[in-house]
């Protein structure tokens, strides 16, 4: 039996603003195994974003434990979290978040820079990742010279380049038209078929329907864990 | 992330915002170039004074009439007082009185117009003795210096400085020709070679030297008064002994105590020190102004870096999400500020050096730019970049990735 990629156990997150304290997550238990394609859905205000931050090691839970790839990351210091993010997580954002002054190739190579990979090796790996998303011929283009869908594929290449334990996509189609959205979702499906673990966070049910499993968050709790059976 | 990568990232950022980077550097550029120039001006002025004083001769004591008192008053006016005479010079020259004195040259000085045919030229007439040539370490370009016999007979002879000669006679050889001064016809017997002083300082080369007796007759002087007595010590080591001897001899000759001395003795070092202290004050003053402009430039760097951090908050968030540690972010912004500082410093130093080449022809002041001064200026520029980059850099490092990513 392989260890789960993600194992959340009674995770709570409380934000204190002045005298007011808001409980964004109220005890979440989630387990995601390697190779799974999971969508996390929920309306705005459900705690979905907070959950994404904790899953992405951008924040730590107030209570409960979070094990990522078999390692407890519940209360690591900032520097250690940075290393975990670099090694274990490939982020895909709604806003693409590519650096406008860098070429697609250098954008893809960016995580490898922080991983301390040497220049030549880095370029080769970035090139392979761009090939993987079908944009090898756009390596020298800057983000401004690419369409939205292409930019998001560059971002996916960047998420793949470190060979992370999971790809964490936060509303990846939120800024795309329907054609580009379908394009990016097809890419995720392909990556999943190749064995990648993908966690997709979205509020759109059509997008979530692409995943093998849907976890619904409501009022800071997991509402239902359901095997995707429809359609 | 190693330093080389960080450097590349930082220089990318500097180049990506060209206009802003240039404006940021401007303060540093102005500050560094003015520091290089002011220090160069100060050094140039010091070198010039040193050359002038060196050109006086070597192992010299300069005796002047009158003396400044400790309380700031002047006893017997400088130069105008008749407290120093040819007899004093003769007394100092006595080997028994002052064994460490090698030579003595008493001089009078007046300004007169010299005439040759229709050309006339106003210059300084120095009346002195043949020892002057050795004491002042001057050589002759042509002809000869006048002799003691010519001093004794107050002969109408003159030795011209090279500049005076060329002003009066053009390229022709003046030796044997006649110049008229105050109605006295003087035969030119020799022309001095150029003094060692810096080329733009003409005063030592624009001069007419006559026997002291001739000079006194021409100016209608009735006393034996002289304006300066140059005393050459036998060696550098005996300079202070010669100083004591000259002082004692003159006090005896004048019958006064040291407290009432009506003359003053200066060494070349003392002259240099006096001149340099004035220069130093100017250099400090101007350098201070330049330093303030550097400080302002540094604050400019900090200001722009803070704006840059705010503007690039998403970039910082993204880099953090992708695995940049706080120290990697801090390094990136610190290096960026240092690059701005250093680039500003290099440009400023180049402008300073260029200014040092152009300025002397505009204001007739030598500017000397030294390698240590430029190195120090670059160090300061880099230091300003680092110093004023610390705060913006640590602000960038402290941003949490969520807040940074969330901002629009």
Yes or no, beta carbons of A87 and B323 under 8 Å apart: yes
Q: Does B318 sit within 8 Å of A53, measured CB to CB? A: no
Q: Is pLDDT larger for residue B299 or for residue B68? A: B299
**Does the pLDDT at position B80 exceed 80?**
no
Is the domain of B323 the same as that of B226?
A: no
The verdict on A110 touching B (C-beta cutoff 8 Å) is yes
Q: Is the model's pLDDT at A184 over the cut of 80?
A: yes
How far, in Å, are B121, B146, B164, B212, B340 from residue B175 at the CA level?
17, 12, 13, 20, 64
Based on the domain organization, do B139 and B17 belong to the same domain? no
For residue B339, how far is the Cα from the chain centroid? 34
> Tell me, what's the pLDDT at B408?
55
Residues B47 and B111 in one domain: no
Pair B402, B290 in one domain: yes
User: What pLDDT score was predicted for residue A139?
Assistant: 93
Q: Residue B126 pairs with which residues in a beta bridge?
A: B109, B209
Question: In chain B, which residues touch A (CB < 8 A)?
Answer: 1-2, 5, 9, 12-13, 16, 314-315, 318-328, 400-402, 405
pLDDT at B228: 87
Q: Do A85 and B323 count as a contact with CB atoms less than 8 A apart? A: yes
> By CA distance, what is B408's nearest residue in A?
A95
User: What is the per-residue pLDDT across B224-265, written as a single tens digit (0 to 9) for each?
Assistant: 888 888 888 888 788 888 888 888 888 888 888 877 788 888
* In-domain check, residue A12: no
Identity of the residue in B327, B328, B402 whose CB atom sits nearest the CB atom of A58: B402
Top-confidence range, A146-150, B243-247, B361-365, B399-403:
A146-150
Residue B330 domain-assigned?
Answer: yes
Whole-number Cα distances in Å, B149 to B88, B129, B152, B306, B397:
20, 10, 5, 83, 89
Average pLDDT, chain A: 90
B107 and B227 share one domain: yes
> Is it the case that residue A227 has pLDDT exceeding 70?
no
Question: What is the average pLDDT across A180-203?
Answer: 92
Q: Using a CB-CB distance cutoff of 8 angstroms, which residues of chain A are in contact with residue B400?
A: 58-59
Name the band, by pLDDT with cuts 50, 70 and 90, for residue A230: very low
A71: contact with B, CB 8 A cutoff: no
Tokens 């995770």, residue located: A11
Number of residues that make up chain B: 408
Q: How far is B408 from chain A (nearest CA, A)?
A: 10
Domain, as residue range, for A149: 36-60+77-227
Chain A, residues 151-170, CB within 8 A of chain B, namely 158, 162
In this structure, is residue A182 part of a structural domain?
yes
pLDDT of A104-143, one tens digit each?
999 999 999 999 898 899 999 999 999 999 999 999 999 9
| pLDDT at position B71 over 70 | no
Mutation target for A interface from B321, B336, B398, B399: give the one with most A CBs within 10 A.
Answer: B321
Chain A CB contacts of B322 below 8 Å:
85-86, 91, 110-111, 114, 158
Between A101, A115, A162, which is nearest B12 by CB? Answer: A101
Question: Does the residue A16 lie in any domain?
Answer: no
Residue B127's SS3 state is strand
CATH number of domain containing A141: 3.40.50.300
Residues of A in Cβ contact (< 8 Å) with B318 = 93, 97, 99
Does the structure show a pLDDT above 80 at B279? no
Burial code (b: 16+ CB inside 10 Å, e: under 16) for B118-131 equals eeebebbbbbbbbb
Q: pLDDT class for B219, splitting at 50, 70, 90?
A: confident
Spell out which residues of chain B touch residue A113, defining contact as CB-CB under 8 Å: 1, 5, 9
Q: Which residues of B touch A91 (CB under 8 A)?
A: 321-322
pLDDT score of B317 more than 60? yes
Q: Band of the pLDDT at A229, cuts 50, 70, 90? A: very low
Mean pLDDT computed over every residue of chain B? 84
Nearest Cα residue to A61 out of A22, A4, A10: A10
Can you tell me whether residue B59 is helix, strand or coil? coil
- Our count of domains for chain A comes to 1
Q: Give the nearest chain B residue to A108 (CA atoms).
A: B322
Residue B78 in this model has a pLDDT that exceeds 70? no
Q: What is the pLDDT of residues B363-394, one digit of tens each?
A: 877 788 888 888 888 888 899 889 999 999 99
E-strand spans in B89-234?
A: 101-116, 119-128, 140-143, 157-160, 178-181, 184-192, 207-211, 228-233
Residues B221, B112, single domain; the answer is yes
Whether residue A8 is contained in a domain is answered as no
Neighboring chain B residues of A158 at a CB cutoff of 8 Å? 322
Distance CA B262, CA A71 (A): 95
In a domain, A119, yes or no: yes
Asked if residue B401 is part of any domain, the answer here is yes
Question: Per-residue pLDDT tens for A72-102?
Answer: 998 889 999 999 999 999 999 998 999 998 9
On whether any CB of chain B is under 8 Å from the CB of A116, the answer is yes
- Count how many domains chain B has: 2
Q: How far is residue B50's CA from residue B269's CA, in Å, rounded to a whole number?
A: 9
Model pLDDT, residue A186: 93
% of chain A at pLDDT higher than 90 = 71
Tell me which chain A residue has its CA closest to the CA of residue B6. A113
**Cross-chain residue pair B325–A91, CB shorter than 8 Å:** no
Bridge partner residues of B187 (DSSP): B157, B178
Which chain A residue is nearest to residue B328, measuring alpha carbons?
A: A114
**DSSP label of B225:** B
pLDDT at B348 over 50: yes
Q: Is the dihedral of CA B54, B130, B126, B200 positive or negative?
A: negative
pLDDT recorded at residue A231: 39
pLDDT at A9 over 90: yes
Query: Could you tell me which chain A residue has the CA closest to the CA of B405?
Result: A97
Q: According to the model, what pLDDT value does residue B34 have?
A: 87
Q: What range does the domain containing B294 cover?
A: 3-51+274-406
At A38-80, the pLDDT tens digits run: 999 988 888 888 999 999 999 999 999 999 988 999 888 999 9
Q: How far apart are CA B132 and CA B164, in angstroms?
A: 18
pLDDT at residue A36, rounded to an integer: 94
End-to-end CA separation in angstroms for chain A: 30
Return the half-sphere exposure (C-beta side, CA atoms, 13 A cut-off) of residue A172: 34
Last residue of a domain, one of B205, B231, B257: B231
Question: For chain A, what percent of residues have pLDDT higher than 70?
Answer: 96
Q: Is residue A72, in this structure, part of any structural domain at all?
A: no
Furthest-apart CA atoms within chain A: distance in Å: 55
Residues of A whose CB is below 8 A from B321: 56, 58, 85, 91, 97
Please give the average per-residue pLDDT across B337-341, as a whole number: 91
d(CA A113, CA A123): 10
* Residue A66 belongs to a domain: no
Q: How far apart are CA B354 and CA B390, in angstroms?
A: 32
- Is A206 within the bounds of a domain? yes
Q: Does A78 contact B at CB distance below 8 Å?
A: yes
**pLDDT confidence of residue A32:** 94
Q: What pLDDT sits at residue A196?
A: 92
Q: Does any domain span residue B83?
A: no
Provide, as residue numbers in chain B, all residues whose Cβ is less than 8 Å from the Cβ of A59: 400, 402
- Report pLDDT for B251: 87
pLDDT at B127 over 80: yes
Q: With CB atoms and an 8 Å threshold, state whether A114 touches B1.
A: yes
Residues B107 and B226 reside in one and the same domain: yes
Q: Could you tell me the two tokens for A39?
A: 């969508």
């Amino acid at each position: 039996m392989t260890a789960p990629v993600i194992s959340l156990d009674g995770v709570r997150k409380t934000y204190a603003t002045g005298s007011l304290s808001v409980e964004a997550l109220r005890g979440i238990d989630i387990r995601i195994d390697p190779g799974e394609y999971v969508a996390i859905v929920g309306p705005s205000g459900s705690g979905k974003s907070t959950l994404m931050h904790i899953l992405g090691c951008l924040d730590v839970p107030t209570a409960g434990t979070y094990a990522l790839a078999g390692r407890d990351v519940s209360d690591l210091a900032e520097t250690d979290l940075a290393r975990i993010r670099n090694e274990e997580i490939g982020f895909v954002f709604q806003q693409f978040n590519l650096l406008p002054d860098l070429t697609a190739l250098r954008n893809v190579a960016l995580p490898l820079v922080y991983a301390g990979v040497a220049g030549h090796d880095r370029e080769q790996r970035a090139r392979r990742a761009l090939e993987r998303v079908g944009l090898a011929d756009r390596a020298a283009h800057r983000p401004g010279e690419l369409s939205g869908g292409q930019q998001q594929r560059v971002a996916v290449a960047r998420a793949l380049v470190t060979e992370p334990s999971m790809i964490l996509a936060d509303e990846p189609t939120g800024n795309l038209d329907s054609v580009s959205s379908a394009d990016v979702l097809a890419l995720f499906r392909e990556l999943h078929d190749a064995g990648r673990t993908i966690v997709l966070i979205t509020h759109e049910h059509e997008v979530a329907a692409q995943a093998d499993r849907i976890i619904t968050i409501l009022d800071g709790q997991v509402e239902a864990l359901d095997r995707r059976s429809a359609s | 992330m190693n330093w080389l990568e960080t450097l590349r990232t930082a220089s990318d950022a500097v180049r990506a915002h060209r206009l802003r980077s240039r404006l940021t550097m401007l303060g540093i550029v102005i500050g560094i170039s003015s520091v290089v120039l002011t220090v160069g001006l100060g050094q140039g002025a010091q070198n010039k004074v040193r050359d002038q004083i060196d050109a006086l001769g070597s192992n010299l004591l300069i005796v002047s009439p009158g003396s400044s008192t400790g309380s700031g008053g002047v006893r017997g006016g400088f130069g105008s007082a008749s407290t120093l005479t040819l007899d004093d010079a003769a007394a100092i020259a006595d080997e028994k009185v002052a064994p460490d004195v090698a030579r003595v040259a008493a001089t009078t000085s007046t300004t007169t117009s010299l005439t040759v045919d229709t050309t006339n030229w106003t210059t300084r007439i120095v009346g002195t003795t043949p020892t002057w040539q050795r004491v002042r370490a001057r050589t002759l370009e042509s002809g000869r210096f006048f002799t003691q016999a010519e001093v004794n007979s107050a002969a109408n002879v003159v030795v011209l400085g090279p500049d005076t000669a060329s002003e009066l006679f053009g390229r022709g050889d003046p030796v044997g020709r006649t110049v008229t001064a105050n109605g006295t016809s003087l035969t030119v017997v020799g022309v001095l070679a150029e003094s060692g002083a810096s080329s733009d300082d003409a005063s030592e080369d624009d001069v007419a030297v006559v026997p002291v007796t001739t000079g006194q007759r021409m100016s209608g002087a009735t006393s034996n008064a002289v304006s300066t007595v140059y005393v050459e010590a036998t060696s550098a080591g005996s300079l202070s002994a010669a100083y004591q001897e000259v002082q004692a001899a003159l006090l005896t000759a004048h019958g006064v105590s040291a407290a009432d001395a009506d003359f003053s003795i200066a060494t070349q070092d003392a002259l240099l020190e006096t001149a340099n202290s004035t220069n130093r004050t100017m250099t400090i003053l101007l350098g201070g102004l330049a330093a303030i402009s550097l400080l302002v430039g540094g604050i400019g760097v900090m200001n722009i870096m803070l704006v840059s951090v705010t503007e690039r908050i998403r970039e910082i968030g993204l880099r953090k999400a992708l695995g940049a540690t706080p120290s990697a972010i801090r390094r990136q912004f610190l290096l960026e500020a240092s690059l701005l500082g250093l680039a500003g410093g290099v440009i400023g130093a180049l402008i300073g050096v260029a200014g040092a080449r152009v300025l002397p022809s505009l204001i007739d002041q030598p500017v000397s730019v030294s390698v240590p001064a430029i190195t120090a200026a670059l160090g300061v520029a880099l230091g300003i970049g680092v110093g004023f980059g610390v705060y913006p850099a640590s602000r960038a490092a402290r941003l949490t990735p969520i807040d940074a990513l969330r901002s629009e």
